[in-house]
Structure 1
Amino acid sequence: MSRSIVRQSKFRHVFGQSAKAEQCYDDIRVSKVTWDSSFCAVNPKFLAVIVESSGGGAFLVLPLSKVGRVDKNYPLVVGHSGPVLDIDWCPHNDNILASGSEDCTAMVWQIPDHVPTRPITDPIVVLEGHSKRVGIITWHPTTRNILLTAGSDNLIIIWNVGTGEPLISMDDHPDLIYNVSWNRNGSLFCTTCKDRRLRVCDPRKREVVAERLAPHEGIRPMRAIFTREGNIFTTGFTRMSQRELGLWDPTNFEEPIALLELDTSNGVLLPYYDPDTNMVYLCGKGDSSIRYFEITEEPPYVHYVSTYSSKEPQRGMGFMPKRGVDVSKCEIARLYKLHERKCEPIMMTVPRKSDLFQDDLYPDTAGPEPALEPEEWLEGRDEDPILVSMRDGYIPPKSRELKVAKKNVLESRPSPRRSMSSCDGSNLPPQLLEKLLEEIQNLKATVLSQEKRICDLENKLSKYTNGTV
């Protein structure tokens, strides 16, 4: 009898566990900008957090292993002249990060594997095309070097960062865009907008192929993400300002597949989705809890699993790609919770007694190799992500440099920093430049110690020659 009542699912007992104090990242001044982004991005190599900074915008990039207290003089990534609003790691290169800012630009950065000795100030490429702040940054899931940006000018631009050129512009939105999400193979993306419409867009046709007015009746901001099956999961508010989630079929927007009321809190619910397990984690700005649900093909389609609760409210959240979780501990997801002054990893684990690799928990997942080149995608090809096995755990590939073609926009717009000298090292690879800087520091230290030794010897010699000894 009980079997028919209790839903069978291997994720029914997933539990969240915060990292120990010594495994957290302390003394991080998280940005206080009033913008509904996650302020945090993470991949199997690095943790990036948007931080408070004077005189422009900056973010902090830490190797995952650099836990504990962060030195207040730790080098930041600084290049924007206004506050940074959104950051996103490239899914095909763990050393490449894109940022969007109030200064109306997006920038792409190469982060070295080792800790830099000075702030990173020169992006690989600057993307200039928006007339107002750039608040949304998201990489294409399967195609190399394709980046989507959305600004407060209600414009969506898709770039080829390998050339620094805009490929596609869409101005179908009459009001502020709240979020953008690609589907699994990158053939479509969905958006939510201040005009209360949920849209599905085909970027290569430059048109909206489906839309739904007010999937949630409230006027507060909505969020929408594509699921693995091609449905759209949304979070929003009811007319009475209750938080609500929904599941929609974009080929038939008339009725929702599922609609579920949650609570009456104010914070916008940010959904983080894992296509391998079909689990979605809801994190509200200002909440101290993370709710998680499983999406299935049987009613009621969106199943509540459990809630991770803590005492501290979250300022933002980062979601680790499946490649970065610890398979030896049956960890199926890891979130990075931002507090006022620190970042705390939270592990989502399935309790299992066996130490063996659990095939049913870890199907092959999206790997770092892109399935398409920009030209192929523009011509109309679609490919699912290239999958990799998690059986032996995932080892990130070594740093690969992003090659930018000579017709890069930066070539015609010399930076004031670079005009000082033609031999300032700006053409060197970042790793070689950092190594040279370290050697220069060592040489300076050696010269200073030798100067001191020479002075001591000269003093002793003068005493002998003056007959004082």
Structure 2
Amino acid sequence: MNGMHCLCGIIKWHPTARNILLTAGGDNLIIIWNVGTGEPLMTMDDHLDLIYNISWNYNGSLFCTTCKDLRLRVCNPRKNEVVVERLSPHEGIRPMRAIFTREGNIFTTGFTRMSQRELGLWDPTNFEEPIALLELDTSNGVLLAFYDPDTSIVFLSGKGDSSIRYFEITEERPYVHYISKFSSKEPQRGMGFMPKRGVDVSKCEIARYPDTAGPEPALEPEEWMDGQDADPTLVSMRDGYVPPKSRELKVAKKNVLDTRPSTRKSMSVIDGSSLPPQLLEKLVEEVQNLKATVLSQEKRICFCDLENKLSKYTNGSLNKANSSNAHPNSLLTP
């Protein structure tokens, strides 16, 4: 594939490392990129069927995937391996989704054997039994989970639904707590989750503005590739978020595009020693002819300017002379 997907359907930025991007496509490949250099860092081909979704963990050391083959996998990208997997976290064959929580557990949505929508919470170090498993309703829409690690609240919505449900994930039973829901008259056609840095905190308050992940990465690409891990760099939301005036794409390694040979060269940077003698002589002759042409044109321009001035001077003198020789009565009629 030469580091490219035949059809890219999933794009996930690394939560802490600068310029690290994960992509997955219809070819069932997962590729990790350094977008600062345009280079693919690694490719994983462990998935044998369509990948439904991918979620990084809080510090970006692992990610989990759900797949059409009904398996939930936890992957270590830097070792290019599947750490652990679980077949059929939900017994239904319809698509499921999974996200990492801040504590390192995995929250899943799927279907029961009777096509009821179901929620699950799993410990990836012990995939045998779920921490919690909760039947929700009998709707057909696939549940999409949007997780806020600052408050441990997950928002559930599905295409065709007219409501969004809120759940809080805690370490106390029943672990997944229903909070409330938002209802609308129109069914949902699509959903997205905006970073809280764009929220007007004067109009919306959740848990007294907890700190949230800021725009500055905690690691450079080379540090992450060397095995370092770090939590996201947080910013305060107490008075709202004010973005910096200017942000530049920081690249520690030289961009690969800068090393590509140019197809066009300026005459000022051509090395004369690398040219054949015949071509060099011809270029010198053409330059000398060009100089001579320019010099002759300059002389012609100066001569024309002199002719114009002389013509004006001559015409002016003749006019004065004619005026002085005219008879005072010449303008009178006889």
1:181 paired with 2:55, answer: yes
1:375 paired with 2:249, answer: no
Pick the aligned partner of 2:141 from 261, 267, 291: 267
Deviations 1:93-124 (A, max 9, x none): xxxxxxxxxxx9xxxxxxxxxxxxxxxxxxxx
Cα distance in 2 between the residues matched to 1:396 and 1:252: 41
Question: 8 Å contact 1:130–1:155 — kept in the other structure?
Answer: no
Instruction: Give the gaps of 5 or more residues in structure 1.
Output: 1-103, 105-127, 333-359, 423-469
Please report how far the alpha carbon of residue 411 of structure 1 lies from its aligned counterpart in structure 2 after TM superposition: 5.0
Instruction: Give the gaps of 5 or more residues in structure 2.
Output: 267-334
Matched residue SS, 1:173: coil
Residue identity in the other structure for 2:196: K
1:257 paired with 2:131, answer: yes
Please report how far the alpha carbon of residue 329 of structure 1 lies from its aligned counterpart in structure 2 after TM superposition: 2.7
Cα distance in 1 between the residues matched to 2:222 and 2:25: 25
Question: 8 Å contact 2:121–2:131 — kept in the other structure?
Answer: yes
Find the structure with the greater CA-based Rg: 2
Please report how far the alpha carbon of residue 325 of structure 1 lies from its aligned counterpart in structure 2 after TM superposition: 1.8
Give runs of aligned pairs for residues 251-330 of structure 1, distance below 5 A: 251-330=125-204
Cα distance in 2 between the residues matched to 1:280 and 1:184: 15
1:140 maps to 14
Q: Which has a greater percent of strand? A: 1
Question: 8 Å contact 1:154–1:175 — kept in the other structure?
Answer: yes
1:207 maps to 81
Matched residue SS, 2:256: coil
Cα distance in 2 between the residues matched to 1:328 and 1:194: 43
Cα distance in 1 between the residues matched to 2:102 and 2:121: 12
1:365 paired with 2:239, answer: no
Cα distance in 2 between the residues matched to 1:290 and 1:361: 22
Question: 8 Å contact 1:160–1:166 — kept in the other structure?
Answer: yes
Please report how far the alpha carbon of residue 410 of structure 1 lies from its aligned counterpart in structure 2 after TM superposition: 10
Give runs of aligned pairs for residues 15-414 of structure 1, distance below 5 A: 129-332=3-206, 360-402=207-249, 405-408=254-257
Give runs of aligned pairs for residues 407-422 of structure 1, distance below 5 A: 407-408=256-257
Cα distance in 1 between the residues matched to 2:136 and 2:257: 48
Question: 8 Å contact 2:208–2:238 — kept in the other structure?
Answer: no
TM score, norm. by length of structure 1 = 0.54
Cα distance in 2 between the residues matched to 1:311 and 1:195: 36
Cα distance in 1 between the residues matched to 2:260 and 2:114: 53
Please report how far the alpha carbon of residue 314 of structure 1 lies from its aligned counterpart in structure 2 after TM superposition: 1.3
2:292 maps to none
Matched residue SS, 1:381: coil
The answer to which structure, 1 or 2, has the higher relative contact order (CA under 8 A, 6+ apart) is: 1
